[in-house]
């Protein structure tokens, strides 16, 4: 347990200088731990795994292999950004796995939220394990565990979900940011030169857009979630709300309503906008988005997203509602 208590000597990392000192210390420690051996990392593109990847690239270079699994539930542009930043810019060994069909086939017809989560989690482990088995001589597994994960490890939703690897793939863990709080991870990420869109990214659930495509996931409804989310993020960025609002996204429920377009009746889905503020996700309040901006976002979604004829704004705080819809 002592291994899991933040050392008193670790100062709160809140300046670029402290981040730099932390980075140098970690590079030394990682080199000592890993030596000339190989290390594997599941790289989602979220801030924690991205910071661990950047640290490992600095410390052990091409002894690191990153695996990015595209499960088809990522936001628009995310897989491309992971490839651009880590493969093209940082020259990491990056295995990109297009597992979109595999996940969506397994999820077809499944509407229960917890079953959906289980399928996504299990399939992720399976895909990752298959990739790991193809590689020779891996002894270490990098993980983006952060301090709140350790403090809250009882009863939280699966966050760093490569913990369930099969017995023959039990690697020694490498967890360089396990004593850091989220804000400190961001300061370190910034000092490592990661793009702001990665460093200041809003929380994003492991099951991704899967829990925002309510009920049984279909490809067309999932596309409506992804496209409307991209519009919402674009407008929040343009209007100074990125980094100010804690979490914002869209949901597409599994029901239709009537509408009218080009003088013809339509029968299409609604898009729900959710924008909340929170400190630790246990409770949340609603962001008061200016009405004109809501109208503008609504018009963009209605004209740019296929299969949608209605846009709603969710005004429900947590509690009574949860932040996600599933």
Residues that bind ligand XMP (CB under 6 A): 117, 157-159, 203, 205-207, 211, 247, 281, 318, 322-324
Min. distance of Cβ 248 from ligand XMP in angstroms? 11
Q: How far is the CB of 102 from ligand XMP (least distance, A)?
A: 19
The residue among 46 and 176 lying less far from ligand XMP, judged by its C-beta, is 46
Q: For residue 142, count CB atoms less than 10 angstroms from its CB and return exposed for 0-12, middle for 13-18, buried for 19 or more.
A: buried
Distance CA 269, CA 136 (A): 48
State the minimum distance, in angstroms, from the CB of residue 324 to ligand XMP: 3
CB of 316 to ligand XMP, least distance (A): 11
CA atoms of 233 and 231, how far apart (whole Å): 5
Q: Select 20 or 197, whichever has its Cβ closest to ligand XMP.
A: 197
Q: Least distance from C-beta 308 to ligand XMP, angstroms?
A: 22
Nearer to ligand XMP, 58 or 159 (CB): 159
Distance of alpha carbon 202 from alpha carbon 247, whole angstroms: 6
Minimal distance, residue 44 CB to ligand XMP, in Å: 10
CA pair distance 123, 73, nearest whole angstrom: 13
- Min dist. Cβ of residue 157 to ligand XMP (A): 4
Which structure tokens are listed for 325?
């819809």
Task: Output 303 or 316, the one with its CB closest to ligand XMP.
Answer: 316
Closest to ligand XMP by CB, 50 or 247: 247
Min separation Cβ 156 and ligand XMP, Å: 8
287 Cβ partners below 8 Å, 6+ apart? 241, 245, 248, 275, 276, 277
Residues making up the chain, counted from first to last: 326
Q: Cβ closer to ligand XMP: 49 or 247? A: 247
Question: What b-and-e string marks burial along 271-303, b requiring 16 or more CB atoms within 10 Å of the CB?
Answer: bbbbbbbbeebeebebbebeeeebeebbebbbe
Is residue 3 exposed (0-12), middle (13-18) or buried (19+ Cβ within 10 Å)? exposed
Grouping H, G, I as helix, E, B as strand and the rest as coil, residue 270 is strand
Distance CA 215, CA 13 (A): 42
Cβ proximity to ligand XMP, 207 vs 270, nearer residue: 207
Would you say 268 or 324 has its CB closer to ligand XMP? 324
């Amino acid at each position: 347990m002592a291994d899991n208590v933040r050392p008193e000597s670790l100062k709160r990392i809140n300046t670029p200088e402290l981040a730099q000192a932390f980075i140098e210390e970690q590079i030394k420690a990682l080199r000592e731990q890993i030596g000339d051996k190989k290390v594997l990392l599941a790289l989602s593109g979220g801030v924690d795994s991205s910071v661990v990847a950047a640290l490992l690239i600095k410390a052990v270079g091409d002894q690191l292999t990153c695996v990015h699994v595209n499960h088809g539930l990522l936001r628009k542009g995310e897989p491309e950004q992971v490839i651009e930043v880590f493969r093209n810019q940082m020259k990491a060994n990056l295995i990109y796995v297009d597992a979109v069909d595999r996940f969506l086939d397994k999820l077809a017809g499944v509407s229960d939220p917890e079953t959906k989560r289980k399928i996504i989690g299990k399939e992720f482990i399976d895909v990752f394990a298959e990739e790991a088995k193809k590689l020779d001589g891996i002894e270490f597994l990098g993980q983006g565990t952060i301090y709140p994960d350790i403090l809250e490890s009882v009863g939280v939703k699966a966050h760093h979900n490569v913990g369930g690897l099969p017995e023959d793939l039990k690697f020694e863990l490498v967890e360089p940011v396990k004593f850091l709080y989220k804000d400190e991870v961001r300061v370190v990420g910034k000092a490592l030169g990661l793009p702001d869109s990665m460093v200041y990214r809003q929380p994003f659930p492991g099951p991704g857009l899967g829990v925002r495509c309510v009920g049984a996931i279909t490809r067309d409804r999932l596309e409506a979630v992804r496209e409307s989310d991209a519009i919402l993020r674009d407008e929040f960025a343009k209007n100074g709300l990125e980094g100010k609002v804690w979490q914002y996204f869209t949901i597409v429920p599994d029901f239709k309503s009537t509408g009218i377009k080009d003088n013809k009746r339509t029968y299409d889905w609604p898009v729900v906008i959710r924008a909340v503020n929170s400190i630790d996700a246990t409770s949340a309040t609603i962001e008061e988005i200016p009405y004109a901006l809501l109208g503008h976002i609504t018009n963009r979604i209605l004209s740019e997203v296929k299969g949608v004829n209605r846009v709603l704004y969710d005004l429900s705080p947590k509690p009574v509602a949860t932040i996600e819809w599933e």
